[in-house]
Amino acid sequence: MNFYTSDAVTLAYSIYGEGTPILFLAGYSGTTYSWSAQTDFFSQAGFQCIHLDKRGHGENTDILSGLRISRLAQDIKELVTLLDIKHFHLVSHSLGAGVAYEYISLFGESDILSLTVIDVPPKAINTDKWQLGMYNLTWHTISETVANFSHVALTAKKIETDLLRQMHQGHYKFNFLTTAPLVSDFLTKDYRDVLTTLTCPTLYIAGELSPLFPDKLTQYYQESNPHVTTFTAKECGHLPYAESPEETNRVMVDFISKH
């Protein structure tokens, strides 16, 4: 399915199942199919799974205008309005969590039943007073980090072969060069104020062996907001929802079902 945005581009989205909506926001380079282990699971559990490929991603690979986190959040708002969704759960990973934070910053959280954030800090750049960002990322190393992003190994545990095949459906050719402005924009954001003022139930899932972010982030999330629950996926890297899907799905569905 497609919808026409306020800045005159057509974006593809998909819906699976029936029930309370869950909107899935994939990370940088991720597509609808990145959530293959979640779509079937949550559809069968009585939820409606909604996916919108970001600009420059998946079915929207050719859309290279508006490669900014704020525009992606606007896209989500316009899709939610189009579908007349009054309340929904947000499940987000990495850069997708940046879109979720931006959405809340711009539009509030009155329509969000719960928020799940997977393996990402609210601020990626390290400074003298903040050392919980991406490893080795500072204002001086942004360009280098973006240029080398395609070479970073994101997993610590092997993803099961059949699931990996499902996640690679569509055979979309992702272009790290043309989408670089998006990841650059994300890496400069600071959503700590959004995190500390959240009132919706929030679940933070960390990969114990994340190659990108320190394990102390879990403690930071716990201490930043009383509405936050945390879970660490053992022996997992940056993709715990794919590396340990059964365990991660169980944690998420237990959390989401309460809210």
Provide CB contacts within 8 A for 25, sequence distance 6+. Answer: 52, 76, 90, 91, 92, 93, 96, 97, 99, 100
Average pLDDT over residues 179-184: 96
* CATH number for the domain running over 2-257: 3.40.50.1820
Tokens of 255: 């959390």
For the chain, which residues make up each domain, given as ranges? 2-257
Average pLDDT over residues 44-73: 96
* Interval 114-135: pLDDT, tens: 999 999 999 999 999 999 999 9
* Share of residues in the chain with pLDDT > 70 (%): 100
Residue 100, φ and ψ in degrees, nearest 5: -65, -45
Average pLDDT over residues 223-228: 97
Helix (H) or strand (E) holding 112: strand 112-118
What pLDDT is recorded for position 172? 75
What pLDDT is recorded for position 171? 65
Average pLDDT over residues 29-37: 95
For residue 86, is pLDDT > 80? yes
**Per-residue confidence at 173, pLDDT binned at 50, 70, 90?**
confident
For residue 47, is pLDDT > 70? yes
User: Helix, strand, coil % (nearest 5) of the chain?
Assistant: 40, 20, 40
- Rounded Cα distance between 153 and 172, Å, is 19
- Rounded Cα distance between 155 and 69, Å, is 24
Tokens of 228: 């936050």
Provide CB contacts within 8 A for 73, sequence distance 6+. Answer: 99, 102, 103, 105, 106, 107
Average pLDDT over residues 216-222: 97
What pLDDT is recorded for position 170? 73
Write down the mean pLDDT value for the chain.
96
- Rounded Cα distance between 34 and 40, Å, is 12
